[in-house]
Amino acid sequence: MPWQQFVIETAATQLEEMEAALFECGALAVSLEDAGDADILEPGPGETPLWPRMRLRALFEGSVAASSIREQLERLLPERSDGNFESLVEQDWTQAWLAHSRPIVFGERLCVTPAELAPRDADLAIVELEPGLAFGTGSHPSTAMCLEWLAEADLEGARVLDYGCGSGILAIAACKLGAGRATTVDIDPQACIACRGNAERNGVGGRVCTLAPAQLAACGYDVVLANILARPLIELAPVLSLLVRGGGTLVLAGMLTDQVDAVAAAYAPGIAFAPPRRSDAWAALIGQRRGDAT
């Protein structure tokens, strides 16, 4: 089915009125993007911040006349019928994703790749991922730093926890690299679905357990990974610290380089961190829990 989209800019104060008018005109979906240069990196819990000025893209069926949509919009918002219509070419989104994807190798032991591009003769642990419901393909610097650490670590038989698992990439990689079992946790049900599916697709479904945060029992994990954002990392410090066994490893990522000190301070004195790893504007902390191994 062909599609068309109506693109218009608006101030945050006009968003609700504009969005309602577009849906009344028959829009199937309305997406928002920044029309200026105002980054929103980390909203607080329950917050839905908006850019001061936004670009709205309203999706319509291609069979609906653009002139009819504009007439309705002029009636609903006489002073805001400006904007442009654009045709959208039907395409296979999976193939489009593959066209811009490639296998990514981490260290000397790990490769994350679309199944169609997986190397068949390399002596690597292969994690196959497809476009899906949840974030996490290994291309983001935070995820890449976690994968690089996993590729270096001795994980043979380890009990691993991936807190904020997204696609499950870290837990799956850990199992592929020798971990005995991985527990994954996420507040997003769709992420849990994606994680289970990806684990099955990679042949480690029987070793990956997916839970909601409330289902997570206190347990001394050998490795705890949390690739989320600085604020939740700080808020979760008492929980995550206790989930690592004495002598075990805690890997924290998703923070900006200028947030490292605040995150590290939240975990003192229980965790001793090595100097942070850095990639672009992002950083990761790898530390060991003080105390005897259990």
Chain-centre distance for alpha carbon 278: 19
Predicted confidence band of residue 45 (pLDDT cuts 50, 70, 90): very low
143 and 278 fall within a common domain: yes
115, 194, 249 from 288: Cα distances, Å = 35, 30, 5
141 and 270 fall within a common domain: yes
Of 67, 90, 113, at which residue does a domain stop? Answer: 90
Residue 222 placed within a domain = yes
Residue 127 placed within a domain = no
Helix intervals (H) in 5-154: 15-24, 66-76, 93-99, 141-152
d(CA 195, CA 169): 8
Domain total of the chain: 2
67 and 173 fall within a common domain: no
Q: What is the largest CA-CA distance in the chain?
A: 73
205 and 271 fall within a common domain: yes
Residue 85 placed within a domain = yes
The mean pLDDT value for 177-200 works out to: 90
Residue 271 placed within a domain = yes
pLDDT, one tens digit per residue, over 52-83 is 778 888 888 888 888 888 888 888 887 766 78
22 and 75 fall within a common domain: yes
144 and 81 fall within a common domain: no
Query: Is the model more confident about 90 or about 62?
Result: 62
Q: What three-state secondary structure class fits 141?
A: helix
Predicted confidence band of residue 294 (pLDDT cuts 50, 70, 90): very low
Of 59, 90, 121, at which residue does a domain stop? Answer: 90
Indicate the pTM of the whole model.
0.70
Residue 97, pLDDT > 50, answer: no
Domain with residue 216: its CATH number is: 3.40.50.150
pLDDT on residue 214: 83
Residue 244, pLDDT > 70, answer: yes
254 and 142 fall within a common domain: yes
274 and 217 fall within a common domain: yes
Six token digits for residue 203: 């042949």
Residue 128 placed within a domain = no
Query: Is the model more confident about 56 or about 217?
Result: 56
79 and 141 fall within a common domain: no
Give kind and range of the element (H or E) at residue 62.
none
Contact 112, 103 (CB under 8 A): yes
Of 29, 60, 90, at which residue does a domain stop? Answer: 90
Task: Domain of residue 256: give its range.
Answer: 133-289
Residue 101 placed within a domain = no
86 and 137 fall within a common domain: no
Helix intervals (H) in 53-139: 66-76, 93-99
Q: How far apart are the first and last CA of the chain?
A: 60
Residue 146, pLDDT > 80, answer: yes
137 and 271 fall within a common domain: yes
162 and 284 fall within a common domain: yes
Residue 121 placed within a domain = no
Residue 270 placed within a domain = yes
Domain with residue 76: its CATH number is: 3.30.70.120
- Computed on alpha carbons and rounded to an integer, the radius of gyration of the chain in Å comes to 23
